[in-house]
Structure 1
Amino acid sequence: MTVGLVIVSHSARIAEGVVELAAQMAAAVEIAPAGGTDGGGIGTSFDKVQAALTAADSGDGVVVLCDLGSAVLTAETALDFADDPERIRIADAPIVEGAVAAAVAAASGASLEQVLAAAQDQAPAAAQPATEQQDLSAPAPSAVAEIELANQHGLHARPAAELVRTASGFDAQVTVNGVDAKSMLRVLALGLDRGTVARFEATGAQATEAIAAIELLAADGFGES
């Protein structure tokens, strides 16, 4: 099971398009559209949002992304009537970028709060104490790799999603050119083109394993070979 997503938009076409895009990055994640009115017009529908929440929930909870203000109000109303509202989160995030980032996080097995944080491009609160509890007298294992990107379009959406999924699978803090390699939005913001030498650094218990996995992923063209 994974955390599901619901896309609430005033336009059925926008909701369906965002679902289609996000699903390209995370085919195994349940992503349900709730766009337009019941009659097919521009607006939002309480019934559509309710149905989408049911469709997207596989048991691990649902993150909802909305386009405009009244879409948020409709989602909040549906949440009020939900059987388990504590397993639903409404993200304060751009609907397209947030949906893609959340989908990639969900596909990596992230928790409800972690998927919400990915959509909002924030570090989840639960992730902070681990760093604070480290024994400063014993430096954490670290590893580094510098890799020239061979992909035709560099680290665009699909290879970036593969990088995020790979980095998220290890107990280590992983960065690429200084930004969190587990954040889809931050990786994409780098705009790393073909021929760029990207510097990957990892610290933590599985730092060496994380860098080794990224090197293998790069050798495979980040899934595009």
Structure 2
Amino acid sequence: MTVGLVIVSHSVRIAEGVVELAAQMAPSITMAAAGGTDDGGIGTSFDKVQAGFAGADSGDGVVVLCDLGSAVLTAETALDFAEAPERIRIADAPIVEGAVAAAVAAESGADLERVLAAAQDQAPAAGASAAAPAASGAAAVLEVELANEHGLHARPAAELVRTASGFDAQVTVNGVDAKSMLRVLALGLDRGTVARFEATGAQATEAIAAIEALAAEGFGE
């Protein structure tokens, strides 16, 4: 089971489009589009959001992304009537970037609080389950000149994040957390740029070896 996502928008097409985009990066994650009013107009629907909560929750919880203020109010109202409100988190995050980052984190096996943190691009809340801090030691380092036509854009960045997240190690690329989709994308690494990967911790060597293999395959492209 994995954490699911619900996308709440005033527009049916926006909600469905965000789900479609996020699914390109994380095809195994259950996502529900709760867009528009009950008759398909512009607005939000309590019933659609409530159905989205039920449809996206496989048992590990749901992270909700909203587009505008009244969408948040609708989601909060639906949360008040949810059967398991403790398994639902409403993210304070941009709907598109947050959904993509959350979906990649969920597909990497992150729990509810870490998926929420990925959407909001922050550390998990105090008390949330998390991997133990990586052991100190010399860093394993890899430098790669990016050959992808569009550099480290969304799809290859998602592959990198999934790969880095699979190891008990702190991994960075050009100084930012390689397990954060939003931070990797913010680097804007184009074709021909040298990406410097560093890893420390119990599985640092394995993490760098996996990234080297991924880079040799064009980061999945």
TM bucket (normalised to shorter chain) is over 0.9
> Taking structure 1 as the reference length, what is the TM-score of the superposition?
0.94
Distance 2:149 2:169 in 1: 29
Write the deviation string for residues 16-73 of structure 1: whole angstroms up to 9, x where unpaired.
Answer: 0000000000000001000000011110000000111111011100000000011001
User: SS where residue 89 of structure 2 aligns?
Assistant: strand
Distance 2:27 2:131 in 1: 32
Residue matched to 1:167: 164
User: SS where residue 16 of structure 2 aligns?
Assistant: helix
Question: How many residue pairs get matched?
Answer: 219
Q: 1:65–1:93: 8 Å Cα contact kept in structure 2?
A: yes
Distance 1:107 1:140 in 2: 29
* Aligned-pair CA distance for 1:140: 2.7
Distance 2:58 2:204 in 1: 32
Residue matched to 1:82: 82
Structure 1 segments (4+ residues) deviating >2 Å: 125-131, 139-142
Distance 2:138 2:193 in 1: 26
Distance 1:128 1:106 in 2: 14
> Taking structure 2 as the reference length, what is the TM-score of the superposition?
0.96
Residue matched to 1:65: 65
Alignment of 1:14-93 (within 5 A): 14-93=14-93
Q: Which runs of 5+ in 1 are unaligned?
A: none
Q: Which runs of 5+ in 2 are unaligned?
A: none
Distance 2:52 2:90 in 1: 13
Write the deviation string for residues 79-112 of structure 1: whole angstroms up to 9, x where unpaired.
Answer: 1111110000000000000000000000000000
Write the deviation string for residues 111-166 of structure 1: whole angstroms up to 9, x where unpaired.
Answer: 000000000000113478944x96xxxx4352000011111110000000000000
Write the deviation string for residues 155-207 of structure 1: whole angstroms up to 9, x where unpaired.
Answer: 00000000000000000000000000000000000000111110000011000
Distance 2:130 2:99 in 1: 24
Distance 2:63 2:124 in 1: 14
Amino acid at match of 1:71: A
Do the aligned partners of residues 153 and 109 (structure 1) sit closer, same or farther apart at CA in structure 2, a change above 3 Å counting? same
Q: 2:153–2:188: 8 Å Cα contact kept in structure 1?
A: yes
Distance 1:4 1:183 in 2: 18
Q: 2:8–2:35: 8 Å Cα contact kept in structure 1?
A: yes
Alignment of 1:58-207 (within 5 A): 58-125=58-125, 126=128, 130-131=132-133, 139-207=136-204
Amino acid at match of 1:4: G
Distance 1:129 1:191 in 2: 28
Do the aligned partners of residues 107 and 128 (structure 1) sit closer, same or farther apart at CA in structure 2, a change above 3 Å counting? closer
Distance 1:159 1:26 in 2: 12
With 214-223 and 50-59 compared, the bigger mean Cα shift is at: 50-59
Q: Which has the higher helix share?
A: 1
